[in-house]
Amino acid sequence: MIRSMRPLSWAVMAFSVLLVVGCSSSGGGGGKLHMAFIYSTTSQNPFQEMAFGAKAAAEDVGGIDLVENAPPAINGPAEVSQFQAAIRTARDGIAMETLTPDLFVRPLQQARDAKVPVAAVDTMAPADAGVNLYVGNSNTDLGRTLATEMLKHIPAGATGEVVLGDAIPGLTLLAQRLDGMKQVLQEQRPTLTVLGPFDSGSEPVDNFNKWNNIVKAHPNAVAYLGAGASDAVSLALIQKNGGRKFLVASCDPDAQALVAVKEGYAVALASPEHWLKGYIAMRLLAEHARSGKPLTEGWWNPGGLIINSDNIDEITARQQDEQSRKQWFAKVTAQQMGDQGKYLRPLGEAN
């Protein structure tokens, strides 16, 4: 059973966390598993994709009472509250994605003390939080592959500005993507001038307004590169409003970003394959709870995908609904779960 959960008040939550210490897992030997996926927000595509993947894994394993919970907009303290409430109810495991990892040091220690297994998804947990499983792609490689794809449209020796946008300044995973982009631009097109990254905002309205200002400040840029989920959507709308096209590449398969690729307002998207990360994390937690074997440790890198004019129709069909996603990823999940050593590396190598 998959269900949503309303956040508890701080007082009730704190009392609940105290109660959970010393409780043991309830799902060994084939009984009902009580698990959760706690994530940053319901308002943006990347986090919705992870939730779909976690749900699919719970369905595949079966016998899981899964709670999926997130604030309606990015709100670190509210997510902490939801996570701490889940410690009490999801005793067999919690997959957690957050954009505010520094707020989770103590809550993750509480989960560890309560013997609730935790897997970090997309964003690494703080080093001293006791979380030894991280499921996330190489964001440096993602940035490199996106920039490499974009350079197919910029000839060698070209001059001009390439403008970078950072949806959440200070967030390590986006900084890694941007570092990868800059590496490729400097290596392969040293005659270009790289500007930024500029704060482009995360929530859709803020993202559009900030990109609109960035484009006005740099109207003749050769290209605009974004590291977040809303960038291609905003830049496509700016192009339509202004009646001219320019070169855009960004990340994440938001439905409107896919339309932007199809209509020629973005040349490429780099998908971190968030669905797959949610699936793998929940599947590993569930198999640990079922078998009693130690939880997998290390950095599981499920890889990424470039979306362009060659595969846009296939990926658009994949993204139609939850079932189409599950069908498309079935071979991928079987391959990765069947050859786990190929995808695991030490936590210290995550980039």
In order of start, what are the domains of the chain with their CATH numbers? 2-137+274-303+322-349 (3.40.50.2300), 139-271 (3.40.50.2300)
pTM: 0.90
Q: What percent of the chain has pLDDT over 70?
A: 91
Q: What number of CA atoms fall less than 13 Å from residue 264's CA on the CB side? A: 4
Q: What's the whole-number average pLDDT of the chain?
A: 92
Provide, for the chain, the percentages of residues in helix, strand and coil under a 3-state DSSP scheme, each rounded to the nearest 5: 50, 15, 35
| Total length of the chain | 351
* Nearest residue to 214 via CA among 249, 264, 179, 164: 164
Pick from 11-15, 130-134, 146-150, 341-345: least confident? 11-15
DSSP string, 39-106: -S-SSSHHHHHHHHHHHHHHHHH-SEEEEEE--SS--HHHHHHHHHHHHHH-TTEEEE--S-GGGGHH
Q: What is the pLDDT of residues 51-89, one digit of tens each?
A: 999 999 999 999 999 999 999 999 999 999 999 999 999
Q: Give the C-alpha separation, 139 to 171, whole Å.
A: 12
Residue 20 is predicted with a pLDDT of: 36
**Pairing state of beta strands 33-38 and 192-199?**
unpaired
State the Cα–Cα distance between residues 66 and 68, nearest whole angstrom: 6
CA torsion sign for 173, 175, 181, 183 is negative
Confidence of residue 349 (pLDDT cuts 50, 70, 90): very high
pLDDT by residue (tens digit) across 298-331? 999 999 999 999 999 999 999 999 999 999 999 9
Question: Quick one: average pLDDT of 172-188?
Answer: 97
**Residue 29 pLDDT more than 80?**
no
Which SS3 state, helix, strand or coil, does residue 2 take? strand
* pLDDT greater than 70 at residue 286: yes
